[in-house]
Amino acid sequence: MGFIAFLKTQFIVHLLIGFVFVVSGLIINFIQLCTLLLWPINKQLYRRVNCRLAYSLWSQLVMLLEWWSGTECTLFSDEATVKTFGKEHVIIILNHNFEIDFLCGWTMTERFGVLGSSKVLAKRELLYVPLIGWTWYFLEIVFCKRKWEEDRDTVIEGLKRLSDYPEYMWFLLYCEGTRFTETKHRISMEVAESKGLPKLKYHLLPRTKGFTTAVQCLRGTVSAVYDVTLNFRGNKNPSLLGILYGKKYEADMCVRRFPLEDIPQDEKEAANWLHKLYQEKDALQEMYNQEGVFPGKQFKPPRRPWTLLNFLFWATVLLSPLFTFGFGVFASGSPLLILAFLGFVGAASFGVRRLIGVTEIEKGSSYGNQEFKKKE
C-alpha cells in the first residue's frame, strides 16, 4: 500500500475532509441567507449567485468521487445526444439502486457545466438536513411529502416557478420514489400485478404523478427528457463511505434523449409512456448483467480541475487556523481546553457520520415498504 493509499484509509484524514465540507457549507449557507436581499431587487442575479455558491459546496463531493477515489464514469449514448449536454433544460430520469447514484449524476452535471443549477424533486425530510437541505432551499428545490393530495399544489407551484430559470438546469426525478430494496421490490411487484402492469426485475414500479406533473409544468422550458440507466462494473455496490476510503469504482451510464414533444400531453398517456420506459430500462439492465456493457457508443468526458481547486481553496482557508488553534490548545496544557477541543472533534465526527448516513440504503426511508391500495 502506497503512502497516499494509506492516508485515504485514516480516520483523522476523513475527519479533516468532513470538517472542511461542514464548515465551508455553513459559511456558504450564511452567504446564501444574505443573498435573499437580492431576490426582490434582481431575482435572476440571486439565482446565478446561488448556483455558484451551491457549486462550491457540491463540487467537494464530486472531488471525492473523481480525484480522491478516482472513480471513472463512462457514458453509453450517441454523439447527437452528447452534443446537447449542458446546452438545454432537461428532465433526468435515473434509477435509484445505489447509495452514490446521485453522486454519479453530479459528476456528469459538473463535467457539462450544470452542477450548480441542477435540481431535484426531493422528499421534504431532506429540507431539514443541515447543509444539504439548507442549500437546496436557496436553490428553489421542489420538496414533497410523497402524498399527492398534500403535494399537488406545492409541487405545481415550485415547478412553474422554475420556468424562467436563467441557467441551463437538469431536473432529476427518481420516479421509483425510493431506493430499491428486495422488500420494496416485492411489494411494488404485487401492486404492479394488481394493476395489470408488466413486472420489473431491476426497478420498482414508477410513480407517475411527479413525472406527468413535471412534464406538464415545464413544457416550454424543458427541451427533452434524458433517461439514464446506471450500473457498476464487477457487480459492485459502492457507498459514500467507500469513496471516502478511496475505493475506485467504474460506473457505466446509458443515456437516451427523448424530445419533450414526443411525450404525450395527456396525463394517462404520459403515465403509460413512463411505464413503457421502465420496461425498456429493465431490458437495458438485463443486457448489462449478461454482457457487461450498455448499447451505444462509449464516451468518457474528462474530469475538470475546478472541483479539486475549489476543495484546495477551502482546505487552505479552514485548516490553517484549525491547526494553529489545536496546537495552541495542547501547548497551553489546560485539561479543560484540551477536553473541550477533543469534545468538538468528537461532535464533528458524529456530525459527518450522520451526513454520510443519509445516503445509506439500510437507513433509507420506509416509503414503499407498505403496500398501498389506492391508485396514484
Instruction: Look up the CATH number of domain 3-299.
Output: 3.40.1130
Residue 322 has a pLDDT of 83
Say if CB 172 and CB 186 are below 8 A apart.
no
At 278, the pLDDT band (50, 70, 90 cuts) reads very high
Task: Say yes or no to pLDDT of 63 above 90.
Answer: yes
Residue-averaged pLDDT of the chain: 89
Q: Is the pLDDT of residue 215 over 60?
A: yes
Across the range 269-297, mean pLDDT stands at: 96
pLDDT digits (tens, 9 = 90+) for 294-348: 999 999 999 999 999 999 999 999 999 888 877 887 788 788 888 887 777 777 6
Residue 376 pLDDT level (bands cut at 50, 70, 90): very low
H/E segment holding residue 73: strand 72-77
pLDDT at residue number 374: 45
- pLDDT at res. 371: 45
Phi/psi at 96 (5° precision)? -115, 65
Q: What is the pTM of this model?
A: 0.89
Which ranges of 36-72 would DSSP assign to H, the alpha helix? 43-63
CA dist 31 → 42, 45, 50, 139, 157 (Å): 16, 14, 9, 13, 26
CB 48 within 8 A of CB 166: yes
